Structure 1
Amino acid sequence: MEGSGVKPGVLVISHGSQERGWVDRVEETVEGVRAKLGGGVPVECSYLELVEGRLIQDGIERLEAQGVTDLLAIPLFVSAGSTHVDEIGWSLGAYEEPRRPTDLERCRVNARLTYGKPIADDPEIAEVLLDKLKESSVSSEPSKECLLLIGHGSEEPWFREEWKRGLEGLAARMKRVGGYAGAAVALLRPEEVAERVRELRGSHPRGTAIVAVPVFVSEGYFTSSVIPKRLEGTGCRYAEGSLIPHPKVEEWIRRQASEWLESLSV
């Protein structure tokens, strides 16, 4: 794109947390993407909330200060069913109205903006979860185990369906590739964990183990506290962890950025 007047840049947007380790894992992931894309494409990391000086507007301004004319904003969230993905897109000016009311304000964006896609049932993400299961001690004989993927979810119908669609796609892919006896998904909102465990137990032979797998970007309150509490008394094994850090999440971001960069050069 040299000589075209186009200077691309990438902004990776995550939720944010007051937990330093949560933020560090996101920063490590974005640093990996920066290395993969090379120095010609600036990559910045920003957060919806809770990380002072690193919010979305801060990231936009850092990129524009480097001369960026075309900006790809990638929401590092697990699902399009996250209401945050919707409100961030509206805030960036990707569409005229959000699907639900938001307290966010419109960002100031001078660059030409493309709003990327959040995580869904992409193959890299299924591979991340399967890799983490292999590294853990909770899954040892997939043919005699059922997976239960657990996501945050939403009480609102459209968002809830998006959550289910993405998680069900991941579950089906993981069952097929990993050779598991079964796979299902459960949301925390609305509460579905106990019901899904009962359904899995009722549809598989006695003695089939259920391995609960959290599908969250980074480890934190939900993976360490909320989900274990919901699993109490269910007899499930719990594969505690999160999607990052993992090189295949970096690859997922890099692939989305590379496809966008190719579209700019057409």
Structure 2
Amino acid sequence: MKQFGVLVISHGSRSREWVRLVDEAVADVRLPEGVPVFSSFLEIVEGRLIQDGIVTLEAQGVTDIIVIPLFVSSGSTHIDEISYALGVIPEPSLPTDMERFAIRARIHFASPIDDDPTIAEVVYRNIEPLSEDPAREIVVLIGHGSAEKGFHQRWKMGLERLAERIRELGGFAAGDIAMLLPNQVPDVMQRWQERKPDGTVIVAPLFLSEGYFTSEVIPERLEGFRYRYNGKALLPDPLISRWMERQLAVFWEK
């Protein structure tokens, strides 16, 4: 008989606030009675790493672990190496120091955020206070990105679809994207400044939690351009917990 358990994996941070926001979102996930959940991290958070989560769940009798990768893009190289280490794929696409985990339970791997409509709603709610005249506004969605072949394309596809969802939600004149890696921000901002000099660019960061990238890196890349920005990340927002519930529902129904 199957005994399900849930393992949420996010990147990890030295910031206690970052970890707290993730843990609160995981704790708010509504699960069937008797299904344990463990909030784990790729690195940094001692005692809360992926192997710690596997051991803890298996000790509770879990035979089937549903893994939720709490990352914003399937283009993240971390998704690739985690998939390999969990035995979901036979080999990683890129070299990795990550070794295979010790696992007895069966692994069921869910999807990262990508262009999920629930996440589009979160981003739109974050930037809505910045909007005054949507018909004259351009939303530029900024994500971390990747310069690696294949991974870059996955980032691009997910960001573009998400930007279009946000554009439709707000009735904006246009939606565009820019990655930090490679640095596309100056070129994108310059293009809209020339194409719509009377328009207003609203910058929307696609990051799980506020921190170094939202407060320092993005403003630095935007220096010299006109824009509106409040630096709001996906967390805290109850819709992130609802997104995780939808990811899990696919497996309950099997």
Structure 2 equivalent of residue 55 of structure 1: 49
Distance 1:108 1:51 in 2: 19
Residue aligned with 2:150, SS: helix
Choose which of 98, 104, 125 in structure 2 pairs with 1:104.
98
Could you tell me which residue of structure 1 aligns to residue 160 of structure 2?
168
TM-score of the pair, normalised by structure 1: 0.93
Structure 1: how far apart are the matches of 2:124 and 2:216? 22
User: Are the equivalent residues in 1 in contact too, given 2:138–2:175 (CA < 8 A)?
Assistant: yes
The amino acid that maps onto 1:45 is: S
Aligned mates of 1:86, 1:187 — CA distance in 2? 19
Counterpart among 7, 29, 38 of residue 11 in structure 1 = 7
- Structure 2: gaps of 5 or more residues: none
Work out the CA distance in 1 between the residues paired with 2:47 and 2:80.
Answer: 22
Distance 1:222 1:91 in 2: 27
1:140 aligns with 2:132: yes
SS of 2:71 mapped into structure 1: coil
Aligned partners of 2:33, 2:82: CA distance in 1, in Å?
27
SS at match of 2:138: strand
Deviation per residue, 1:159-191 (Å, 9 max, x gap): 111111000000011111210011100000100
TM-score (normalised: structure 2): 0.97
Give the secondary-structure state (helix, strand or coil) at the position aligned to 2:180. strand
Equivalent AA in structure 2 for residue 17 of structure 1: S
Per-residue deviation at 1:39?
3.4
SS in 1 for 2:161: helix
Give the secondary structure class of the aligned counterpart of 1:24: helix
- Deviation per CA, 1:98-149: give whole Å up to 9, x if none: 1100011111111111111111001000000011122x3x222222210000
Query: Counterpart of 2:240 in structure 1: which amino acid?
Result: V
Conserved 8 A contact 2:51-2:102: yes
Alignment identity in percent?
A: 50
> Is 1:27 matched up with 2:23?
yes
Question: 1-side partners of 2:149 and 2:199: how far apart?
Answer: 32
Across the aligned residues of Structure 1 and Structure 2, the Cα RMSD in angstroms comes to 1.0
- Distance in 1, matches of 2:192 and 2:240, equals 29
- Whether 1:228 aligns to 2:222 is no
Contact 1:8 1:261 in 2 (8 A): no
Q: Quick check: 1:181 aligned with 2:173?
A: yes
| Structure 2 residue aligned with 1:192 | 184
SS of 1:105 mapped into structure 2:
coil
Pick from 58, 70, 90 the counterpart of residue 76 of structure 1: 70
1:247 is aligned, of 221, 238, 246, to 238
Give the superposition deviation at 1:225.
0.8
Return the alpha-carbon distance in structure 2 between the equivalents of residues 224 and 24 of structure 1.
18
Aligned equivalent of 1:207: 198
What amino acid is the match of 2:230?
A
Letter aligned with residue 182 of structure 1? A
Secondary structure of 1:45's partner?
strand
Deviations 1:56-109 (A, max 9, x none): 000111111111111111110010111011101101110110110001111111
2:127 and 2:202 in contact (8 A); partners too:
no
Q: Shift of residue 38 of structure 1? A: 4.1
C-alpha distance in 1 between matches for 2:166 and 2:184: 20
